[in-house]
Chains A and B, each alone.
Chain A
Amino acid sequence: MSVIIILLGASLLVAIFFLAAFIWSVRNGQFEDNFSPAHRMLFETKPNESTCSTGNACTNSNCKSRICQHN
């Protein structure tokens, strides 16, 4: 059972390390840009990009506009 002491100690150290890293990252303002990554993934990169009537990018190059987002 002595092993549980070692385990508790190790777990606590690991937990404290992660907590410290987390607090430090928040204080460093690591979470400043929570906006652009989430939005950037929504944009398609299409050659000669044209848009559908709904304002979304087409997903096929000839833009038959059959797969536009239906809102």
Chain B
Amino acid sequence: MSLEKFSYDNRTVKWFAYACIGWGLIGMLAGLWAALALVLPDLNLGYAPTTFGRLRPVHTNAVIFAFVGNGIFMGVYYSLQRLCKTRMFSDLLSKIHFWGWQAIIAGGAITLLMGCTTGKEYAELEWPFDIAITLIWVAFGANMLGTILRRRETHLYVAIWFYIGTWVAIAMLHIVNSFEMPVSFLKSYSWYAGVQDALVQWWYGHNAVAFFLTTPYLGLMYYFVPKAANRPVYSYRWSIIHFWALIFIYIWAGPHHLLYTALPEWAQSLGTVFSIMLIAPSWGGMLNGLLTLRGAWDRVREDAILKFFVVALTCYGMATFEGPMLSLKNVNAISHYTDWTIAHVHVGALGWNGFLTFGILYWMLPRLFTTELYSRKWANAHFWLGTLGIIFYVIPLYWAAFTQSMMWKQFTPEGQLKFQFLETVNTVVPMYALRALGGLLYISGVVLMIVNLAKTVRRGSFVANEPAETPPLPKVIHTHGKSHWHNWIERRPIQLTVFSLIVVGIGGALEMVPTFLIRSNVPTITSVKPYTPLELHGRDVYIREGCYTCHSQMIRPFRDEVARYGEYSKAGEFVYDHPFQWGSKRTGPDLARLGNKYPDSWHYNHMLDPTSMSPGSIMPQYPWLFDDKIDKGKTPAMINAMRKLGVPYPEGYEKQANADMQKQAEEIASKLKKDKLEVKSDKEIVALIAYLQRLGTDIKSNTVAEKK
């Protein structure tokens, strides 16, 4: 048997590792800032880019796509080469993939701070970035598949299936959810409207968690946990079932983000049922990881790396038990719109993704630099700082969530709501402060890790091309005894890719196709009309400032919500909403029926200084809206784009739109003047007031939804 000599590419792995650490720190600091801003609203410094509504998307996109994203690529590039016993397919593609991804992240962060956003959670990046992401993702896929095809090992280890499944599903999700109509270079409107947009968005949003934060990391888990423990995975059989069951079931669960909303009931039930089923494969995966450590538990006491892995797997188990529980409608009635969701996602993000990443970094970097980790003591200190950080993060938020939800729902014996919304906010603000402390502890652990790894790197010597040798792949594979179909597919990456696509495609198609085709799913309401040009501009301001990160626009049919906000929301009200703005968290009250609730002057004063109208409010001030002018030049393009998307503006209306806008703006300005507030009619605040006064006014409570 002749041996082939080749080398592993460690340089790309090192780059991705550095990017993962650097972006991770930036993303977490943005999160800490956002967390503190909920306690001290003045932290926005009166400056748009540092306001919560813009910082939060920066934080979420940075930790998901920059920290975890680079973490995925780091782990995949390291493990794939060694599992396939070959160098990455193309060094050029590796370079393109690395620099392309970093460029997207940097550009994305800057444009998000500038306020360029699609207004859809975790898909906020605007259309040029969506195209760039697609291209880079294809480069990554080509590089990965090329490597797999040139492998010197017949069998595809389970980690590789998870990588392939990840690639296929993310490609599908990203492309479908990114259908948008460009208005200008950095502005677009979602292709879908209202209920359909919500369904597609949360099909994407939930599966970003599934196929960006979960499946690739499970692949890494199946490689690095056995490696670090020097024990084979507990059950290879489980891992096969784990893979197929997980990717098939996960896709369906998106609607659990929309329980009790205007989404059709059948879709909600479908999402709930599949969410419950998800416990099985998720816990199978967790147990498979934990039981891999059987016989190595004595080392867990000493070895920080294994400690990180154990807590990561445990947090994965906790989050995947909690997710199905939150998908039960009766539990969701309490948890939705509260900090429970935030706590839930951080168990997964801080525990599962964060700790697995740290463990991999501590294990892998010393190997790349042929040295030992500088300080095991510091790694252990990092472990405890991180664990304390998670505890201080999630427990106060669970407390806050439950407290606030119970307060929202309480009535006095006379049948009045017992608490003002603001009272409930002020009750939980101390918990927000504790949460920020948890974040600070977690970040200090990360800083300790950076110092530790930097010292490790400094004393090591980097091996850019690690030599290796192995026999070539035999032309004919001899099997002993019968050959079986799954063995067959385990050796065939192309078929595995196609089958994975079929499996993940089924769930998405069966949920979405009926929602788009069956008209009865969205009953039309004749009194619902398109937005006026001024309101459209106001809506753009609302989306740009990220108002949807704290305010929902979706009243659920509960006694307390109807009493507090007004008539519950109907599917037909949102047919012109590109994108939908239902939100998923109520840091502030719901705005679905805000129109005509307060005079224009109230909104004017409130946006200038929220505490002047609501003492104790934690909403930041928006002084720039009073200086910046409405971009009149964009109006025709906006009307045209909306018309192309099916909003019934008459032909040629784009020529008249600016005149109509002027008229409506002057009406608002004169109303404000009566209240002794001087404002020019071309300021953004006027557009925002117009939009806020329009919200929910199209239907009166006695309107009956008619089917056309």
Residues on A facing B (Cβ under 8 Å) = 1, 3-4, 6-7, 10-11, 14, 18, 22, 25, 28-35, 37-42, 44-47, 56, 59-61, 64, 66-67, 69-71
Contact = CB atoms under 8 A, between A and B. Distances in A.
Contact of B370 (A14, A30, A37, A67): A67
A45 B468 contact: yes
Given A38-B236, A69-B230, A70-B303, A59 B484 contact: no
Given A4-B266, A41-B226, A25 B468 contact: no
A4 B273 CA distance: 14
Nearest to A18: B248
B331 interface: no
Contacts of B240: 31
Contacts of A30: 484-487
A38 to B, nearest CB: 4
B11 to A, nearest CB: 16
Given A30-B484, A42-B227, A59-B367, 8 more contacts: A1-B520, A11-B510, A25-B485, A28-B485, A34-B236, A35-B236, A38-B236, A59-B370
B485 A67 contact: no
A3 B486 contact: no
B670 to A, nearest CB: 50
Nearest to B373: A67
Given A38-B232, A41-B223, A66 B469 contact: no
B235 interface: yes
Given A1-B266, A67-B371, A38 B506 contact: no
Contacts of B244: 18
Contact of B157 (A22, A31, A32, A41): A41
Contact of A66 (B299, B370, B506): B370
A9 B85 CA distance: 45
A67 B481 CA distance: 40
A28 B371 CA distance: 47
A7 B481 contact: no
Nearest to A38: B232
B599 interface: no
A23 to B, nearest CB: 12
Given A1-B266, A29-B482, A34-B235, A6 B372 contact: no
B236 A37 contact: yes
A29 B484 contact: yes
A14 to B, nearest CB: 6
B248 A28 contact: no
B514 A14 contact: no
Interface string B348-391: 00000000000000000011001110000000000000000000
Given A41-B226, A45-B469, A28 B484 contact: yes
Contacts of A35: 236
A61 B467 contact: yes
Contacts of B468: 45-47
Contacts of A28: 482, 484-485
B155 interface: yes
A22 B85 CA distance: 30
A71 B230 CA distance: 9
A10 B467 CA distance: 52
Contacts of A59: 367, 370
B237 to A, nearest CB: 5
Interface string B204-220: 00000000000000000
Interface in B474-510: 481-482, 484-487, 490, 506, 510
A39 to B, nearest CB: 5
A62 to B, nearest CB: 8
Closest 8 CB pairs of A and B: A30-B484, A38-B232, A34-B236, A3-B514, A60-B370, A30-B486, A4-B266, A38-B236
B83 interface: yes
Contacts of A70: 299, 302-303
A66 B372 CA distance: 6
B410 interface: no
Contacts of B248: 18
B467 A38 contact: no
A15 B485 CA distance: 19
A22 B485 CA distance: 11
15 contacts: A7-B270, A14-B506, A22-B241, A25-B486, A28-B482, A30-B484, A30-B487, A34-B237, A42-B232, A44-B82, A46-B469, A47-B5, A47-B469, A66-B372, A70-B299
A4 to B, nearest CB: 4
Contacts of B486: 25, 30-31
* Most chain A CB within a 10 A radius of its CB, from B236, B490, B518: B236
Contacts of B510: 7, 10-11
Contact of B371 (A56, A61, A66): A66
A37 B5 CA distance: 23
Contacts of A39: 232
A12 to B, nearest CB: 11
Contact of A3 (B227, B266, B470): B266
A25 B266 contact: no
B292 to A, nearest CB: 9
Contacts of B482: 28-29
Nearest to A1: B266
A30 B463 CA distance: 40
B638 interface: no
B13 interface: no
A56 B228 CA distance: 12
A60 B366 CA distance: 11
A37 B237 CA distance: 10
Contacts of B279: none
Nearest to B484: A30
Contacts of A14: 506
Nearest to B230: A69
B160 to A, nearest CB: 10
B7 to A, nearest CB: 10
Contacts of B82: 41, 44-45
Contact of B83 (A4, A41, A64, A71): A41
Contacts of A18: 244, 248
